[in-house]
Amino acid sequence: MDELDWIRVIDHSQYLCRSWQKLYFPARVCRYIRIVGTHNTVNKIFHIVAFECMFTNKTFTLEKGLIVPTENVATISDCASVIEGVSRSRNALLNGDTKNYDWDSGYTCHQLGSGAIMVQLAQPYMIGSIRLLLWDCDDRSYSYYVEVSTNQQQWTMVADRTKVSCKSWQSVTFERQPATFIRIVGTHNTANEVFHCVHFECPEQQSGQKEENGEDPGTGDTSLAGQQLSPHAL
């Protein structure tokens, strides 16, 4: 109120953030708002493009100062981004389309033994679940593991399915923890040497979704099955 006594309401100094930030804290009376940048991965300058401040009646849950989301925050509209993985369409993994995929498009992939599929959320959230749709236009199965991080340096494994044959929809739940980056690493494919993922959401959304075993798979031209395929194809 007087530019002398300051109350810190948000502390993201230990997290990597990008694009739009949706920040919530308990309502309080204030006149001045101070934003202090502490890190930039490119240079020594902190940049803000736009700023909005408001009161909301929307209910939200905070844990350790971070939002516990109930809706999927791994979306294009929430400024999430796929920063590692190969796809014909950059945002195929996050566009919400779980029907239109085939042999050639609608999925994101990586070569087994090299790389991963990595999603960066716009800001840190307290996350305890994710949901994946593995490519399922034939009878193949996959194995994989999932890690989360807030800085791309220290990673925590939250799911180990390297010894499990997995198909189609995958529900992954784990102890809730801060996460900005989610890394999915395929370790096996019964058909070839590439791991394919069609859809990613975080946290898991059940409303309006079919049961995992009842979801209709995508459709593809099975005549391609016997052809020689490149490492990033099916």
For the domain made up of 81-210, the CATH class stated in words is mainly beta
> Of 139, 118, 140, 137, nearest to 202 (Cα)?
118
* Phi, psi for residue 165 in degrees, rounded to 5: -90, 115
* Beta pairing, strands 108-111 & 66-67: unpaired
The pTM for the full model equals 0.85
Q: Is the separation of the CB atoms in 181 and 149 below 8 Å?
A: yes
* pLDDT tens, per residue, the chain with 234 residues: 677 899 999 999 999 999 999 999 999 999 999 999 999 999 999 999 999 999 999 899 999 999 999 999 999 999 999 999 999 988 899 999 999 999 999 999 999 999 999 999 999 999 999 999 999 999 999 999 999 999 999 999 999 999 999 999 999 999 999 999 999 999 999 999 999 999 999 999 975 444 444 444 444 333 333 333 343 455
